[in-house]
Structure formats: C-alpha cells, structure tokens
Amino acid sequence: MSQQGLTLDYSRILSNSVGTTHGLTSAELDGAGRRVMETVATIERERKDGRHRYRDLPDDAAMLRGIRTAIKPRANAFENLVVLGIGGSALGNIALQTALNPPYYNSLPTTRRGGPRLFVVDNVDPVQVASLLEVLGPRLRKTLFNVITKSGETAETAAQFLIVRKLLRDKLGDRALRRNLLVTTDAHSGTMREIVDAEGWETLAVPEGVGGRFSVLSAVGLFSAGMCGINIGKLLSGAREMGKRCAQRTLKRNPAAMLALLLHAYYVRGKRLHVMMPYSHQLKDLADWYRQLWAESLGKCTARDGTPVVVGPTPIKALGATDQHSQVQLYREGPNDKVFIFLEVERFKKDVRIPRVAGTPASLKYLQGTSLARLLTAEKRATEFALVRSGRPCLTIRFPQINEEHVGAFIMLWEAATTIAGYLLEIDPYDQPAVQMGKDYTYALMGKDGFAAQRREIDTFASRGRKSSV
C-alpha cells in the first residue's frame, strides 16, 4: 500500500519470518495470486452491471448532499442523538464515533463537542433501555432519535421504535414525531417504509443494493457521524482512494486482494481464527465492526452454485495492550490455529509523558521520561515478535494517524476484502439466511401473524427435549 495511506505489512506472515511450517512462501503467494486477481477482474466486471453497490457509495454526491441537508437544521438543535438499530444498522455508527471523536465525548462540555451526545442502543435489554430513557427524560425535547432499519422488520428496532414513538407522542405531542424522530430505511419497501410514508415523515434512505453490514458509508453511518462533527466528506474521500486501490489488477498494488489472499490461504491451511488486535482505544470498535462483516458475510452452508458447504473463518477481537493480560498466553502457547491482524498507529493525536520522579525504584526507571505512546507501540512490537517466534503468522495494518481519510480507507479495505474472500470461498458474501431464520423464530415466539408453522415447530422441539439443568 502507498506510504501516505494505510499500509498492510505482511512480512511477518511469510516463511522467512514465521518458518516454513506456518509461513507462506513467495511461490505460494504467486500461485494463489493468479486466482485472486481473476476474482478481482470478475468483481470489477460485475460492478459495471450494478453489483457490489457499496463500492460506489464514495462517489455518490447526491447521497452526500442529502445527508448534509438532513444534518444542517438538526446539528445544533439537539443535545442528544439516539441511534436505534442493530447489527449493520449500529456497529458502524459506534465504530466511527469511537475512532474519530475523543474518548469520553459524551462527558465533554457542549463547547468541546462537535455535536450532540451520541447513544447507540443496539439491544433490547430492558434495564439498558429503561435507564437511558430515564437519563434522557428531562431533556426529551432536545433529543433526536434516528431509527435505522433497512428491512424495516427487525424486532429489536421495531420494539424500540414503538416505545419511543409513544413516549414522544405522550410527552411532547404529535408534532414531536416529525421533529424528534428521523427514520433511515429502505427507499421502497418494508414495514417501516409503509409507516413513514403513511405519516409523511422525512426520511433518509439505505441505498438500494447495499446490505446492512456494508452500509456504514451511507446515511446509515454518516448521519450520526456528521451530526457529531465528524467530517463525512473526508471519510468518503479516504474510502474512494482505497476503492481505487482495491480495483488494481496487480496483486502487490491491491491491498484488499492481498488481505483476502493471505487470510484465505491460511483458512485453507486450517488457521481459521482471525484475531484483530488494535493497539489503540480509538480503533477498538472498528474491530467489532470487522467481526460482524467477516462473520456474517463468510460463514455459510451453501455455495454460490447451490451445493452444500460448511465454510467461514471466525473473527475474534482483542485489544492491545489490555488483552495481552487475558488472551496472549493462549495465543502464544495454545493451538496454532490463528492469524493475527494487528492495527498499529504511527502518530497518536495525543501523548502522555511518564514523569521522572525522585525516589522511583530502580526497577521502574526504564519508564521514566518516555511516554504512553512509546510504551503501547513497544508492547505491540514485543507481542508480535513473541507470536512470530512461536510460529504464529501476524499481519499489521498501520495507520499513519487516525483521521477520517484513514478510517474511510480501512472500511473500504475490509469491505472489498470481504467480497473477494467470499468469492474465494465460493459463497455469497451478501446474504445472511441464518440470521433471518433466528428473526423468523423470534416473530413466531412473539406471536406475529404468518409464523404459526414456525411456532408449532419450536413448541414441538421444546416439548421433546429432555429437561436437563443443574
């Protein structure tokens, strides 16, 4: 990758670092490279036929205009922004906020925040939801709820919506529904679309052909980001530049192709656990976002030609240095079935010096006069070295610094790599039938019309199972 942008360092995955048993040789790279580059060519051809629409989002000027138009009158009008959504309708929002706004953003005084406080409620935990509503209660008038659901059918989001709609109506009256609620949903279909059309509410659209976990660079993720002062134009321009690199036909110029190739090659060799370990608090929620993207896109039981398969790497999140003290023992000495993907930052936005203090014991003198950034980076290098010495392959994605362009690039890199990896695994990376099945049985258990058969099935299953518990 270019030196000004993100770099994907794969030197610690090659056999001359990790050893021949666990490392990849240049010949293996070249061999796999041909198939990967054919896959890239196929994807680029399909893009011309309107597929892989998430790749076009950075160029969608009308979309960006629409989002900015929605932000303008609202940005200074609210103290709180609450995103109601789940999965692909929430994880990107959380990741952008953690990466690009200061930690403890919500606790900063208004003048030091770029916009309203942000709460993303991606669950229906009753204690969590009740507690948030209690906190917001006195300032409800100053709270905007952004309901995000592409399908418009998801039980968790629908339940949150119904609760909030009644709350707003009861406490502030019908007019508040237009002012304090903004729905992001499919432009044409779904129950939420029917509701908003019937009410005549202004909405934001989830672009056609863009699935939930690929939608962070649309209104789904960009509205809340822009409301909270993040430069969404720069996010898109970083993604655009990375998109161009992901279309390159030469393996060594195409970071997404290289990433997919390496992770797929190890998958085939039996290293099916892919641990992403950022050494940066700001990047920790991007690892959550990656976890959904990689898991939901690649874990499938049907190949694209319809034949049954069982495939899918397991993405794992760890945080440096915190999880050195919880997981690295397993990673170094346990089964060698993982690939490590470190996220490293070259220049942190802030640093804290470790002071020299008279009387400090000799055993702590090595810390004096250095800084936390230096310590964290040293810990990353040391952990990587220890893993590599134990024959564990490690990749590093290096951020020159954390800013909108690099975060946009990171998002596009992983989305493009996911498509390529899906094609290498010969599955459809865009569907999620297993998630849908869980949704359907939830509808059945909650008594939704049209799901009686599933209700009978689940009841029969429950009555047959032997009661075993301790």
Catalytic residues: 296, 325, 439
CB nearer to ligand PA5: give 33 or 85: 85
What's the number of CA atoms in the CB half-sphere (13 Å) around residue 208? 5
Q: Is residue 157 within the footprint of ligand PA5 (CB under 6 A)?
A: yes
Paired with 8 in beta bridges are 397
Among 151, 203, 377, 419, indicate the residue that binds ligand PA5 (CB under 6 A): 151
Can residue 160 be called a binding residue for ligand PA5 (CB under 6 A)? Answer: no
Tokens of 374: 């230096």
Where do runs of H (alpha helix) occur along 3-117?
15-18, 26-48, 61-71, 91-100
149 near ligand PA5, rule: CB under 6 A: yes
* Residue nearer to ligand PA5 on the CB measure, 81 or 394: 81
* Residue with the two structure tokens 């003198």: 365
87 binds ligand PA5 (CB under 6 A): yes
Helix, strand, coil % in the chain, rounded to nearest 5: 55, 15, 30
Size of residue set near ligand PA5 by CB under 6 A: 15
Closest distance to ligand PA5 from the beta carbon of 93 (Å): 11
Smallest distance from ligand PA5 to CB 292, Å: 6
Residue spans of alpha helices (H) in 246-301: 255-268, 284-298
**CA 289 – CA 90 distance, rounded (Å):** 9
The span of 131-139, 207-215, 360-368, 397-405 binding ligand PA5 (CB under 6 A) equals: 207-215
Could you tell me which residues come within 8 angstroms of residue 334 by beta carbon, excluding any fewer than 6 positions away?
none
Question: 208-232 burial, b if ≥16 CB within 10 A, otherwise e?
Answer: eebbbbbbbbbbbbbbbbbbbebbb
Shortest-Cβ-distance residue relative to ligand PA5 = 212
CB of 103 to ligand PA5, least distance (A): 26
Site membership for ligand PA5, residue 86 (CB under 6 A): yes
Site string for ligand PA5, 242-281 (x = CB under 6 A): ----------------------------------------
189 or 360: CB nearest ligand PA5? 189
CB of 131 to ligand PA5, least distance (A): 23
Stretch that binds ligand PA5, among 31-39, 81-89, 318-326, 457-465 (CB under 6 A): 81-89
CA distance 80 to 75: 10
Binding of ligand PA5 by 299 (CB under 6 A): no
Q: Is 195 in the site for ligand PA5 (CB under 6 A)?
A: no
Establish if 212 lies at the interface with ligand PA5 (CB under 6 A): yes
Identify the residue among 22, 74, 113, 213 touching ligand PA5 (CB under 6 A): 213
At residue 458, φ and ψ (nearest 5 deg) are -75, -35
List alpha helices for 210-280, DSSP H: 219-227, 232-245, 255-268
Using DSSP's 3-state secondary structure scheme, residue 143 falls into strand
Say whether residue 89 binds ligand PA5 (CB under 6 A). yes
d(CA 253, CA 247): 9
- Whole-number minimum distance, CB 381 to ligand PA5, in Å? 35
Interface residue with ligand PA5 among 377, 414, 432, 444 (CB under 6 A) is 432
Exposed / middle / buried, residue 150 (Cβ in 10 Å: 0-12, 13-18, 19+): buried
CB 309 within 8 A of CB 318: no
Residue 52 interacts with ligand PA5 (CB under 6 A): yes or no: no
Binding site for ligand PA5 (CB under 6 A): 86-89, 149-151, 154, 157, 211-213, 296, 432, 435
